[in-house]
Amino acid sequence: MIPLSIAEPLTGLAPVGLTELVERAALQTRIDRKYVVAVADLPYLLGRLPADTRVLDIDGERSFRYESVYFDTPWLVSYHRAAYRRRRRFKVRTRTYLDSDRCWLEVKVSGARGNVTKHRLPYRPQDRTTVRPGRDFVDHALLREALHPSAGSPLDPVLVTGYRRVTLLLPAPLSRITIDTGLTWHDFTHTLRTPDLAVVETKSTAAATPVDRLLWQRGSRPVRISKYATGLAALRPDLPDAPWRRTLRRHFCAVEPAVDPTPPATPRPEPEASCA
């Protein structure tokens, strides 16, 4: 459920439909800035947005449940490229919009100067825990980006994340803002929950958004956080974590992962056979 503290500020914003949001601010290539803030601070932020801010509204709902399944090689090539700050990095995931039962297979590639390019393929929700039906798409997307780390290697599910998302549209400069609450991570053995924290992400072509400036005024600065890499590092202290160490120490050190008493809601499939 969306935190009650932000439900009221959201009702005062003008709505924007999904089609218009995608047409105006798909921003498939963009600059991302991420912040970890206390859920208790969100009303301050929402109460000071520009008057022409609009909120994604679908059939009267303004927050939506997301589930992402992240895939990696047995040697965690995607994770280690991020951990060792390789200039070119990638993620492979399925993203399921649980309220509408829509699903996409996505390949995200990070390049120079923080640019992010996303490749998307409509996907069957029942296939969200495997890349088998979309493996050709994944390989082609990585080839287009001059990345070949998965060639000949299986891509298995490694981490599942869940959260609720509010999406805002700001027209000047054109930008999209997401606010994620109710964050959970599980690696099929342990689950991590951070109910008091939110991840705010600003997405624009370049310029800082009004939300960035509001957060800067409150002393918040962009942090290194990746739902995949930071979450996996929090659950697996044996992994290298240098890029996210400050974030982990500041925001995650007091949160203890819990052993899953029952199998996760998203079952782990059999590992993908090697394509070699």
At residue 172, the pLDDT reads 80
- How confident is the model at residue 269, as a pLDDT? 57
pLDDT at 22: 84
And the tokens for 30? 């963009």
Mind spelling out the 3-state secondary structure of the chain?
CCCHHHHHHHHCCEEECHHHHHHHHCCCEEEEEEEEEEHHHHHHHHCCCCCCCEEECECCECCEEEEEEEEECCCCHHHHHHHCCCCCEEEEEEEEECCCCEEEEEEEEECHHHEEEEEEEEECHHHCCCCHHHHHHHHHHHHHCCCCCCCCCCCEEEEEEEEEEEEEEEECCEEEEEEEEEEEEECCCEEEEECCEEEEEEEECCCCCHHHHHHHHCCCCCCCCCCCHHHHHHHCCCCCCHHHHHHHHHHHCCCCCEECCCCCCCCCCCCCCCCC
pLDDT at res. 274: 43
User: pLDDT tens, 234-262?
Assistant: 999 999 999 999 999 999 887 888 887 65
Q: What is the CATH number of the domain that holds 170?
A: 2.40.320.10
Q: Is the pLDDT of residue 185 over 80?
A: yes
For residue 183, tell me if it sits in a domain: yes
Write the pLDDT tens digit of every residue in 70-104: 999 999 999 999 999 888 889 999 999 999 989 99
User: What is the domain extent for residue 26?
Assistant: 4-259
- Examine residue 268 and state whether it is found in any structural domain, yes or no: no
Tokens read off for 216: 């800067």
Residue at 14 is within a domain: yes
pLDDT for residue 153: 83
Residue 271 clears pLDDT 60, i.e. is over it: no
Omega cis (within 30) before 173: yes
| pLDDT recorded at residue 276 | 29
Q: Does residue 226 fall inside a structural domain?
A: yes
Across the chain, mean pLDDT equals 88
Q: pTM of the entire structure?
A: 0.86
Does the residue 264 lie in any domain? no
Higher-confidence position of 166 and 30:
166
Encode pLDDT of 196-214 as tens digits.
999 999 988 777 899 999 9
Whether 267 maps to a domain, the answer reads no
Contacts of 168 (CB under 8 A, 6+ apart): 13, 49, 53, 54, 55, 56, 176, 177, 178, 179, 211
Query: What is the predicted pLDDT for the residue at 272?
Result: 58
Any domain includes 16 = yes
- As a dihedral over the C-alpha atoms of residue 24, residue 29, residue 33, residue 39, rounded to 10 degrees, the angle is 50
Give the model's pLDDT for residue 264: 52
Asked if residues 64 and 31 have their Cβ atoms less than 8 Å apart, the reply is no
Distance separating alpha carbons of residues 103 and 11, to the nearest angstrom: 27
How many domains, the chain? 1
pLDDT digits (tens, 9 = 90+) for 36-71: 999 999 999 999 999 999 999 999 999 999 999 999
In a domain, 271, yes or no: no
